Structure formats: C-alpha cells, structure tokens
Structure 1
Amino acid sequence: MHSGKLVFAQLMDYLPLHTFRRCVQRYPSKYPTKTLSHLDQFLCMAFAQLTYRESLRDIETCLRAHQAK
C-alpha cells in the first residue's frame, strides 16, 4: 500500500498560502462563511476540478470516500 502523500497534497504544497490569504483579504465576500473557511472551499473546488466531479453530490461522495486521507 502506498504510504506517501497523495498527488493532490503534493500539488497543494505549491500553493502560496501567503498570496492566497492576501487575496482573501483584498476581495472580501459579501456573505460570511458558515462552516468552511476560504481555504477549505478552495481546496474542495480544486479537488473537484482535478478529479472531474460533475455535481455537488458527486463532490461530497468523493470527499467522504477520501476522508481518512
């Protein structure tokens, strides 16, 4: 069994968090976040794009399947 990082985690290591947080502060949302942070929302959407998910239900099912990872 593979014990290293997933490809998604390896790709997200290149995400400049400082720049991401600066963009979040520069462009504030009109609506407050309820449960997910801005970073969590971005990671979910990036994961959905990279795994070719087609619907919110499909994204949720896939993320729950990979919950332990």
Structure 2
Amino acid sequence: MKVTVDQDRCVASGQCVVAAAEVFDQRDEDGVVVLLDPDPPAEQAADVRHAATVCPALAIQIED
C-alpha cells in the first residue's frame, strides 16, 4: 500500500488522525495533514482506508 496526501486540498478536519494516528498527523500551525508513513504495514490498511473514506476534502490517495 502506498499512501499520498494532497496538502493543498486538506481542510484540517483531523479525521485522518482519528482514524489512523500511526500514519497521519497534523501541522501545529494550521492543522494540515502530515503523512508520517507513506508505506504503512498491512495491519494498518483498514485504518488507512477508513481515513481516506472519512476525509471531507478527499485529500488522501491510496495505491495498492
């Protein structure tokens, strides 16, 4: 699994961090998504997919 984020689309809702805190974080100054692990382990796949689904800006892309 390869994860990318579009920081320009991010609306800083933080839903990705709630869903997969091991993979996503937010910048302190504006809350924009920070990708901590672009190649997360298989056991985190469900959480990462959930994060992409709940992102209101659709700023998370997943490539299998």
Report if TM-score (shorter chain) is over 0.5: no
- TM-score (ref. length: structure 2): 0.26
- TM-score (ref. length: structure 1): 0.25
**Higher helix share goes to which structure?**
1
**Higher strand share goes to which structure?**
2
Q: Which has the higher contact order (CA 8 A, sep 6+)?
A: 2
